[in-house]
């Protein structure tokens, strides 16, 4: 391929090597790339490559006129064709992308001739025929130009099939994502080859300072056998490294609140209700729920770096630091415990340091240090909803949250021979995960103050100074350590790789505790005073006007650990010059331990085969047809032990009341029931580790098939299509129907009087599992099996299917512009979203309310929460001249399916006991997920412009980015619970928007690179 003659080269920026996204790569989570190509096969011909850090490698051209160099650090290379020690031809500034093969050929039959001194992105072959996986790669040059949020998640959203997860789930102040229909806990994050996923729940992960990202891979499927533990996607970030030239730089960004639009106000829904149904409060429909005018924020970042050689060609350093601070205001709802505006402050300082030591041309050593802090704090100022006015500080504050992560990562690479390469990564991390309130109020949290008896309050709800419901232990946190080793050997047309991949996670005092005295008060009102909130537990109806209160306790603090071990073998076989086949097998083993270091889940051997094929149809990288088939296992994160394998308390105790004191506490209490009630038998006792899960529990796993092609269209365009099918084969959740276990034991003739049958157990929904019931007298255990029919599911199994067709067209860099457009049609259907439940925001990983009872799973099959039927994504840039560049990104997405969850059946019952409005019934009729409709379509257009003045040699840059240019403010999720705790009493918030698209904002940027 000849070099484009109309490419304008800029120094360190703009479209010189930018805005090209390579689909297809070697292996997920890798930190290296490869070079291959054709060259004249005369005797003595060799290829020598050297990067900016002085690393040099050579390889002989084989008899067929081909060469291959793998496991090369990413970056820019010079590539020389040599014969008898003399340089015959040379290519400069060839950029290697992580996990991808880059073809550079030197004449010869079938080769691509690169006859220019400088090779730019426009000249690199458009299609990587050396791999079969599905991914995108975004480089640091692209990040400088495109209008993107400064996060790994914002970058990943450029990839097809990736959608924003429910905003109910967060990782500190960071968002989470869904890949290919999976739930938001099924992804993996990597920093320089080491796992950086959330060590407790696997919700999100840690990312580098934005300016330190060299390349980011976003994998959407088809990983090689070397990698696993993800049934969603992978975000793999590589940090920058030092070179033989010293570089310094500073940057600042400013997104002022004065240039930001306000979010939309939120109102209580006002809908006509069926006969026999009434709102909890008939005065609220159509009234203001949350005032949001001027709820804006200012975000400021400042960053700097220094990078260069400590010893030329041998020892290099790259140091970078970033300050990221957001100050804003958010008005609480009229129903909040604090009638106030939250004047919040978020700070996220980051540090990245990397040392590279080229011991010699055959051995390298790398050390990476990452520090990442996420702190949220603030204070409350009074807000009067009667006149929408703000007052002074109330003296109360929201909880202060501080998450701090530290990583130390070491990597060794040894090029033992031309054909044998050994690499090893060892790392460790430490996270402190703290939450507390500076006010430390001793009062209980008051929920539902708007439902207090107006005869006692005079119509003005009585609250107190307790701002939050939960807190955490003062030393909560996690530690991880991991070792990965890979040995790669090339023999003939085979590239054989074997390795191990081990991780250990230890959590300490994680979970939640109650604020104040250790309990909260929840006020409620029944539209029919003669209906009980929990008749099955012996709770009486409130009577009178229907007012009652519940004493609520939820405490789950515990410690835990998990071991994840794997080994694999893979063969990349170049069957013919045009056919590449990848054959792999991986074995994963997962073991979860409770707070006493006793295993409660042991997976045993789990074999995951992988098969991939790539056909370079014409042998010139102009048309690739590829396929990938694989199985992927997902481990249970440490958080499963919380409530699942350790002691927890989760109770409600119901009362009517005759008064309310000045702090909102009910007085003159009359018990409505027998005492504290726990639907799942959580009264603070530690479960037996052998009874928590079955002895034959299978890990969640998913099978995946990908078929596709990519084709060049002339010199300026290329296009492609891909079909993806994912099927969840086994899931893990918990079930809490102990009556079914007693029934099975009774049918076996077992005397259950001496058995301790657990309230909840972890299991494989729809499968047959073997459980152990402990003898109360300590004499042992009784084993028994429970099938799907025994649980009452009547043949129903966990189901999740994802089908997608991805189409893309792109214009590689030429004529000063680049553009790419992706369209994805997909269908995500089943009865199991995954490890969490988005429609109600439940983040109890692998312990959702789904499958707790067969009644909860009736009519559960439908369109799942992460189903987005249509997605249109685009991004690109245009360079007007050496100084000015404009860019844009676009996302058009169809809406999330809606759910309506009510009481069971036509009679409004609660057969599971204590689940209230959680069944797939609405107005007494079945209501499958998605049957209640969909959220509206959303369109997000972001635009940017960058100016690099010539008088500063293009080292100085000014940028302007506008996000959500159209200022489209639309609801993206709504309240799914139809009724309150009483049947036929419709929640005033049902159908109300809970999360919305972010309003328009403007960001100004200035940077200087020395």
The predicted pLDDT at position 118 comes to: 33
The CA-atom distances, in angstroms, between 458 and each of 253, 452, 463, 660, 662 are 50, 10, 13, 11, 13
The span from the CA of 207 to the CA of 353, in Å, is 13
CA 157/CA 140 separation, integer angstroms: 16
What pLDDT does 65 receive?
Answer: 80
Contacts of residue 661, Cβ cutoff 8 Å, sequence gap at least 6: 462, 667
- What does the pLDDT read at residue 943? 98
Residue 909: per-residue pLDDT: 95
Most confident of the following: 82-86, 715-719, 961-965: 961-965
Evaluate if residue 131 carries a pLDDT over 90.
no
Q: What is the mean pLDDT of residues 2-15?
A: 29
The pair of three-digit structure tokens given for residue 924, joined into one six-digit string: 């007494």
**Distance set, CA 44 to CA 50, 86, 90, 708 (Å):** 19, 10, 16, 39
Mean pLDDT, to the nearest integer, of 882-894? 97
Mean local confidence (pLDDT), 800-819: 92
At residue 854's C-alpha, the angle toward residues 853 and 855, to 5°, is: 90
Please write the tens of the pLDDT for every residue from 540-583: 999 999 999 999 999 999 999 999 999 999 999 999 999 999 99
pLDDT at residue 813, as a whole number: 77
pLDDT computed for residue 108 by the predictor: 45
Per-residue pLDDT for 210 more than 90? Answer: yes
Q: Residue 107 has what pLDDT?
A: 67
pLDDT at 81: 87
**pLDDT above 70 for 171:** yes
CB 82 within 8 A of CB 106: no
Mean pLDDT of the 97-109 span: 73
Domains of the chain: 32-136 (2.60.40.1120), 442-471+513-555+649-683 (no CATH)
- Under the banding of pLDDT at 50, 70 and 90, the label for residue 525 is very high
Mean of the per-residue pLDDT values of the chain: 91
Q: Identify the CA nearest to 893 among candidates 934, 837, 930, 839.
A: 934
Reported as a single tens digit per residue, the pLDDT across 502-522 is 999 999 999 999 999 999 999
- Is the CB of residue 564 less than 8 Å from the CB of residue 503? yes
What's the CA dihedral at 130, 133, 138, 139 to 10 degrees? -40
- pLDDT tens-digit profile of 319-344? 999 999 999 999 999 999 999 999 99
* pLDDT at res. 7: 29
| Percent with pLDDT over 90 in the chain | 81
424-480 pLDDT per residue, tens: 999 999 999 999 999 889 999 999 999 999 999 998 999 999 999 999 999 999 999
pLDDT at residue 78, rounded to an integer: 86
- For residue 123, what pLDDT is reported? 42
- For residue 332, the 8-state DSSP code is P
Q: How far apart are CA 234 and CA 502, in angstroms?
A: 17
Residue with the bigger pLDDT between 116 and 410: it is 410
* CA 693 – CA 876 distance, rounded (Å): 50
Here the tokens at position 482 are 């991991």
CA 596, 501, 154 angle in degrees (round to 5)? 95
Please state, for a pLDDT cut of 70, what percent of the chain lies above it: 95
CA distances from residue 885 to 4, 116, 1000 in whole angstroms, order as listed = 19, 25, 22
For 722-743, write each residue's pLDDT tens digit. Answer: 999 999 999 999 999 999 999 9
Cα–Cα distance measured from residue 336 to residue 448, given in angstroms and rounded to the nearest whole number = 8
pLDDT at 29: 54
pLDDT band at 716 (very low <50, low <70, confident <90, very high): confident
pLDDT band for position 87 (cuts 50, 70, 90): confident
Rounded to 5 degrees, what angle do the CA atoms 300, 302, 304 make? 165
Q: Tens digit of pLDDT for each residue in 825-846?
A: 999 999 999 999 999 999 999 9
Burial (CB count within 10 angstroms: exposed 0-12, middle 13-18, buried 19+), residue 311: exposed
Q: How confident is the model at residue 309 (pLDDT cuts 50, 70, 90)?
A: very high
How far is C-alpha 555 from the geometric centre of its chain's CA atoms? Answer: 26
Chain segment 341-378, per-residue pLDDT in tens: 999 999 999 999 999 999 998 999 999 999 999 999 99
Which of 583, 615, 771 shows the shortest CA–CA distance to 130? Answer: 615
Q: What is the pLDDT of residue 2?
A: 26
pLDDT grade for 6, boundaries at 50, 70 and 90: very low
Half-sphere exposure of 354 toward its Cβ, with a 13 Å CA cutoff?
A: 23
Assess whether pLDDT exceeds 90 at residue 37. no
Q: Rounded to 5 degrees, what are φ and ψ at 404?
A: -125, 125
Whole-number pLDDT of residue 126: 63
- The confidence score (pLDDT) of residue 103 equals 79
**Span 239-257, mean pLDDT?**
96
């Amino acid at each position: 391929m000849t070099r484009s003659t109309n490419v304008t080269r800029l120094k360190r920026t703009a479209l010189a090597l930018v805005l090209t996204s390579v689909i297809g790569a070697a292996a997920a989570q890798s930190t290296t790339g490869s070079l291959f190509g054709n060259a004249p096969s005369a005797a003595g011909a060799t290829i020598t490559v050297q990067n900016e850090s002085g690393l040099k490698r050579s390889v002989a051209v084989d008899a067929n006129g081909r060469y291959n160099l793998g496991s090369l650090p990413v970056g820019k290379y010079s590539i020389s064709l040599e014969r008898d020690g003399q340089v015959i031809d040379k290519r400069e500034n060839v950029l290697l992308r992580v996990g991808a093969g880059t073809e550079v050929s030197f004449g010869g039959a079938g080769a691509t001739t690169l006859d220019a001194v400088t090779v730019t992105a426009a000249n690199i072959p458009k299609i990587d025929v050396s791999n079969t996986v599905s991914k995108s790669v975004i480089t640091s040059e692209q990040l400088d130009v495109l209008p993107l949020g400064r996060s790994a998640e914002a970058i990943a959203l450029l990839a097809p099939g990736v959608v924003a997860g429910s905003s109910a789930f967060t990782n500190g102040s960071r968002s989470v994502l869904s890949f290919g229909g999976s739930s938001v806990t099924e992804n993996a994050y990597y920093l320089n080859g080491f796992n950086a996923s959330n060590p407790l729940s696997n919700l999100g992960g840690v990312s580098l300072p934005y300016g330190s990202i060299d390349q980011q891979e976003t994998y959407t499927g088809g990983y090689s056998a070397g990698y696993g533990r993800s049934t969603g996607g992978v975000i793999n970030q590589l940090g920058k490294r030092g070179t033989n030239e010293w570089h310094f730089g500073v940057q600042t960004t400013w997104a002022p609140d004065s240039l930001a639009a306000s979010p939309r106000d939120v109102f209580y829904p006002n809908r006509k209700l069926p006969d026999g149904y009434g709102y909890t409060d008939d005065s609220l429909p159509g009234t203001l729920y949350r005032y949001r005018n001027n709820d804006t924020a200012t975000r400021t970042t400042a960053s700097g770096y220094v990078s260069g050689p400590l010893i030329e060609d041998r020892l290099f350093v790259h140091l970078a630091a970033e300050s990221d601070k957001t100050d804003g205001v958010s008005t609480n709802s009229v129903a909040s415990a604090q009638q106030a505006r939250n004047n919040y402050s978020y700070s996220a300082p980051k540090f990245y340091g990397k040392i590279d030591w080229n011991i010699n041309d055959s051995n390298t050593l790398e050390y990476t240090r990452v520090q990442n802090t996420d702190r949220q704090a603030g204070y409350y100022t009074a807000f009067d909803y009667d006149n929408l006015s703000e007052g002074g500080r109330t003296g109360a504050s929201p909880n202060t949250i501080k998450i701090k992560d530290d990583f130390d990562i070491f990597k060794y690479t040894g090029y033992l021979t031309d054909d044998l390469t050994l690499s090893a990564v060892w790392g460790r991390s430490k996270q402190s995960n703290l939450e507390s309130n500076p006010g430390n109020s001793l009062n209980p949290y008051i929920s539902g103050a708007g439902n207090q008896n107006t005869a006692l309050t005079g119509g003005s709800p009585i609250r107190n100074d307790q701002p939050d419901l939960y807190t955490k232990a003062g030393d909560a946190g996690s530690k991880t350590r991991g070792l990965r080793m890979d040995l790669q050997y090339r023999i003939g047309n085979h590239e054989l790789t074997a390795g191990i991949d081990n991780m250990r996670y230890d959590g300490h005092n994680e979970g939640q505790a109650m604020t104040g005295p250790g309990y909260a008060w929840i006020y409620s009102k029944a539209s029919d005073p003669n209906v009980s909130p929990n008749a099955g537990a012996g709770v009486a109806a409130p009577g009178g006007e229907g007012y009652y209160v519940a004493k609520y306790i939820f405490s789950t603090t515990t410690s835990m650990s998990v071991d994840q071990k794997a080994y694999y073998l893979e063969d990349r076989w170049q069957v013919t010059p045009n056919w590449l086949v990848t054959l792999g097998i991986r074995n994963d083993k997962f073991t979860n331990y409770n707070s006493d270091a006793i295993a409660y889940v042991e997976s045993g051997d789990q074999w995951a085969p992988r098969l991939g094929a790539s056909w370079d149809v014409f042998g010139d990288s102009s048309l690739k047809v590829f396929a990938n088939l694989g199985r992927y296992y997902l481990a249970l994160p440490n958080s499963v032990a919380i409530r699942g394998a350790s002691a927890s308390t989760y109770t409600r105790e119901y009362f009517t009341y005759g008064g309310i004191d000045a702090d909102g506490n009910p007085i003159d209490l009359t018990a409505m029931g027998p005492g504290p009630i726990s639907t799942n038998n959580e009264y603070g006792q530690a479960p037996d580790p052998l009874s928590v899960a079955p002895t034959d529990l299978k890990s969640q796993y998913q099978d995946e098939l990908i078929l596709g092609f990519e084709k060049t269209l002339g010199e300026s365009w290329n296009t492609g299509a891909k079909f993806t099918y994912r099927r969840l084969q086994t899931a893990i959740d918990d079930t809490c129907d102990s009556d079914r276990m007693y029934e099975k034991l009774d049918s076996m003739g077992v005397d259950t009087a001496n058995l301790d049958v657990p309230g909840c157990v972890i299991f494989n929904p729809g499968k047959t599992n073997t459980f152990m019931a402990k003898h109360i007298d300590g004499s042992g255990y009784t084993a028994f099996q429970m099938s799907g029919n025994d649980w009452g599911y009547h043949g129903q199994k966990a189901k999740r299917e994802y089908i997608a067709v991805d189409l893309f067209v792109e214009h590689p860099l030429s004529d000063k512009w680049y553009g790419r457009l992706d369209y994805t049609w997909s269908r995500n259907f089943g009865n199991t979203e995954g490890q969490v439940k988005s429609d109600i925001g439940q983040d109890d990983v692998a312990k959702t309310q789904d499958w707790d009872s067969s009644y909860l799973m009736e009519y559960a099959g439908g369109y799942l929460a992460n189903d987005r039927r249509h997605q249109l994504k685009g991004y690109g840039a245009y360079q007007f001249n050496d100084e000015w560049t404009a860019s844009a990104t676009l996302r058009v997405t169809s809406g999330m399916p809606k759910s309506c969850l009510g009481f069971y059946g036509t009679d409004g019952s609660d057969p599971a006991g204590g689940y209230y409005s959680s069944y797939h019934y609405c107005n007494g009729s079945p209501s499958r997920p998605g049957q209640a409709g969909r959220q509206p379509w959303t369109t997000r257009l972001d635009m940017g412009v960058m100016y690099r003045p010539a008088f500063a040699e293009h080292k100085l840059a000014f940028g302007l980015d506008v996000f959500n240019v159209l200022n489209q403010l639309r609801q993206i999720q709504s309240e799914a619970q139809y009724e309150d705790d009483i049947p036929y009493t419709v929640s005033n918030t049902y159908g109300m928007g809970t999360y919305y698209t972010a309003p328009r904002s403007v960001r100004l940027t200035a940077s200087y690179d020395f």
